[in-house]
Structure 1
């Protein structure tokens, strides 16, 4: 039978499903993951989609396993109002003609196969970036019929493998930055669900961010081995590592996707920056301590000198000026020179002056005696060694 000579029964109504609780089988084969847009939270896939259901109102002559119908024939029969909830855009692929087919099997099964490029919206959370794992779902359902009228289920085996598309269905794709895994969800849902799991390749992040930042922190700790007095060398080492970490943080924040909170890699870089800043702050404390110690040593030396000078200085004389003013001064001229003599009232002042003079002489004599004793002992030891 020619595909153009197939006739639809006259009592066929395309607006009514084939029966109560019609089961629609969904099969998806992901051919390629074209891209992942983190800013728009979108995933672009090249897929082969097959939708099949039982249509008992359509019959074929015996002896023919199936017949391929024109693609426009789908407008003459009932087709499920398939709706992909997370779908953003969909474009049917084409080479010489569109990659879409409509096939009717001898058992009354209608199969629609489409090769398309679809863009899926996926809600992503980047708080754990780059250690995050994104789980996205693609739900195939109906926007008009309830689950009592039409049910959507997954097929265990991809139906297009029997159409000459030989090969093994891929479940995992490795991209430069992602590992994309697909799995069908067999739990109870109102729609057929395909789970997509996005996990990142951590090798590039380890080499580009985590390893350099760790080395910067270790280098900053190496500044503790530099002598504190070498200010330029230690300051250049700490300031350079600090600025490098700040620049790395700015680059990572600019190139990474946005998140409502600080991302994991940002927390790591902030921690590394704080470690280097603490090392720099510790050096400031050390410099302040060195300067304070030098100032305090200089002050102690000045205090010791002042104390030594105070001990060597003669004590002041306590003179009663009122008595001096009232004491008459007498004297006799000797050789044309007047020689004053103290009266009896100045005898106490004279004795005080003589007593202080004797004390100074005794202290000076004791120091000279000690110095002479030390010199004699030194000379005697030298003579003993010579003998």
Structure 2
């Protein structure tokens, strides 16, 4: 090796020695780059050198608007509240822009960036979350915020925040619905002539792996722009739409299956004896009250909206079936008393003494009736004979009383109608297009 050729490090050391001789002899001849960071910060942010009140120049140093690239990292989503129509999210929020006033010498690549913890020392975009209800920074153990200044003047601002954001929901398909919750970010005071927000190219929104939500699943997210025009000008705005799908298994176990069981239990009344009045009444009233309590409990966990929800249709129809079973017993009880009255009338007719002369007089009267009346009676007899030949009529003739026939018809009709309702209900709400949901 040629000892006459000095190394690059030696040349840098000699240059620094002649410019700053006291710094080169620190730490056994090694350069103290932390001290150099302090000097550079004092140089670019010193009094009279940098004014944080003035925004940076536009692209290529022009007088155009300053361009700020934004990206976020969703750390967690703690809750999605249907009653207050809001959701809570914790995220790392990042902004990046170019401020040529902050350029500095990187000392041959030794200084990759400068780090600040005080945001008020440099110019900051006036971004705010337009649909925010509550929010706070994280200060444990130290404030979770930093600012990096790169040699070319790029500034990276990163902060961890927790937000509670409004999320207007359409609950017409609840609990078979999908909800879209937005996160909107806009400039508060700078118009698009001075400041423009853009999504960072390549994964502007990142979501933590294995994101767990108790009652929802995050299906996808979409980024978009939402510039707004007011009387004071047009303001740049960014938004990300989070599409949540409600987990149906919870509602299937807690609502739908119990309601089906209550409706089926109410049908037990059709198989009880007509004379078991206390049993049938207590069964009908108990199932009706239980169904009403279930319905009120469901509505208590939802906001009072003006439209009908899918769960309202289900609980309303189930309540109607239970109430119909109770009314069926009232009809059976009335028919049973009518049957008893009819039987008493038959017994009284059998006990009556038949007068032969009265029969002769009746026969003579029949002979004198008009022929039209005779033809009408014959027509009625033919209709009666035709009806008796009907299979359904023959099957119903096995049950002599009307009350028993009502019970038998109810045993078949109620399950068939309820099955038909289930077919229509699930085919309507499960296979509805996404456009119709909106």
TM surpasses 0.5: yes
Residue 37 of structure 2 is matched in structure 1 by 2
Measure, in 2, the Cα distance between the counterparts of 1:44 and 1:34.
6
Shift of residue 243, structure 1, vs aligned partner: 1.8
The structure 1 residue matched to 2:54, chosen from 15, 21, 24, is 15
Residue 198 of structure 2 is matched in structure 1 by 153
Give the total of aligned pairs. Answer: 304
The structure 2 residue matched to 1:56, chosen from 88, 93, 100, is 100
Deviation string 1:64-83 (CA, Å, 9 cap, x unpaired) is 453333322x3233221112
Measure, in 2, the Cα distance between the counterparts of 1:144 and 1:78.
14
Structure 1 residues 70 and 191 mapped into 2: Cα distance closer, same or farther (>3 Å)? same
Runs of 5+ unmatched residues, structure 2: 1-35, 59-63, 228-235, 359-438
Residue 126 of structure 2 is matched in structure 1 by 81
3-state SS, counterpart of residue 104 of structure 2: coil
Counterpart contact for 2:92–2:160, Cα < 8 Å: yes
Structure 1 residues 170 and 69 mapped into 2: Cα distance closer, same or farther (>3 Å)? closer
The structure 2 residue matched to 1:123, chosen from 163, 168, 178, is 168
**TM-score, scaled to structure 2:** 0.63
Shift of residue 48, structure 1, vs aligned partner: 0.6
Structure 1 residues 139 and 96 mapped into 2: Cα distance closer, same or farther (>3 Å)? same
Structure 1 stretch 250-259 or stretch 6-15: which is displaced more?
A: 6-15
Residue 384 of structure 2 is matched in structure 1 by none
Deviation string 1:13-57 (CA, Å, 9 cap, x unpaired) is 432342213221111101111223333322221111111111122
Shift of residue 302, structure 1, vs aligned partner: 2.0
Counterpart contact for 1:23–1:151, Cα < 8 Å: yes
3-state SS, counterpart of residue 214 of structure 1: helix
Counterpart contact for 1:173–1:181, Cα < 8 Å: no
Shift of residue 109, structure 1, vs aligned partner: 0.9
Measure, in 1, the Cα distance between the counterparts of 2:39 and 2:278.
90
Measure, in 2, the Cα distance between the counterparts of 1:203 and 1:79.
47
Structure 1 residues 47 and 96 mapped into 2: Cα distance closer, same or farther (>3 Å)? same
Residue 309 of structure 2 is matched in structure 1 by 263
Residue 213 of structure 2 is matched in structure 1 by 175
Deviation string 1:74-102 (CA, Å, 9 cap, x unpaired) is 32332211121112222111222101001
Residue 288 of structure 1 is matched in structure 2 by 334
3-state SS, counterpart of residue 70 of structure 2: strand
1:209 and 2:245 aligned: no
Counterpart contact for 2:225–2:237, Cα < 8 Å: no
**RMSD between aligned residues:** 2.7
Structure 1 residues 291 and 159 mapped into 2: Cα distance closer, same or farther (>3 Å)? closer
3-state SS, counterpart of residue 136 of structure 1: strand
| Greater percentage in helix | 2
Residue 69 of structure 1 is matched in structure 2 by 115
Measure, in 1, the Cα distance between the counterparts of 2:133 and 2:114.
30
Measure, in 2, the Cα distance between the counterparts of 1:3 and 1:247.
70
Shift of residue 111, structure 1, vs aligned partner: 0.6
Measure, in 2, the Cα distance between the counterparts of 1:41 and 1:3.
49
The structure 2 residue matched to 1:226, chosen from 272, 277, 301, is 272
Counterpart contact for 2:215–2:247, Cα < 8 Å: yes
Shift of residue 132, structure 1, vs aligned partner: 2.6
1:105 and 2:150 aligned: yes
Structure 1 residues 302 and 213 mapped into 2: Cα distance closer, same or farther (>3 Å)? same
Residue 251 of structure 1 is matched in structure 2 by 297
Counterpart contact for 2:55–2:66, Cα < 8 Å: no
3-state SS, counterpart of residue 272 of structure 1: helix
3-state SS, counterpart of residue 2 of structure 1: helix
Runs of 5+ unmatched residues, structure 1: 161-167, 314-387
Measure, in 2, the Cα distance between the counterparts of 1:17 and 1:199.
43
Measure, in 2, the Cα distance between the counterparts of 1:153 and 1:221.
63
Shift of residue 295, structure 1, vs aligned partner: 0.5
